[in-house]
Amino acid sequence: MSFKRSDRVGDVIKEEIASMILHGEIKDPRIGFVTITHVELTPDLKEAKVFFSQIGSEEDKKKSRNGLNNASGYVRRNLAKRLTLRHIPTVQFVFDESLEYSERIEKVIKDMKEGGSL
* pLDDT tens-digit map of 86-105: 899 999 999 998 777 777 78
Domains of the chain: 5-115 (3.30.300.20)
Mean pLDDT, rounded, for 21-36: 92
Mean pLDDT, rounded, for 4-21: 92
Mean pLDDT, rounded, for 7-15: 93
For residue range 46-66, list pLDDT tens digits in order. Answer: 999 999 999 888 899 999 999
Is the pTM value of this prediction over 0.75? Answer: yes
More confident residue, 43 or 3: 43
**What are the b/e assignments for 63-78, b being 16+ CB within 10 Å?**
bbbebbbebbeebeeb
| Mean pLDDT of the chain, nearest integer | 89
Residues in the chain, total: 118
Q: So what's the pLDDT on residue 116?
A: 65
Cα separation, 27 vs 69, whole angstroms: 13
More confident residue, 84 or 118: 84
Question: How many CB atoms neighbour CB 113 within 10 A?
Answer: 10
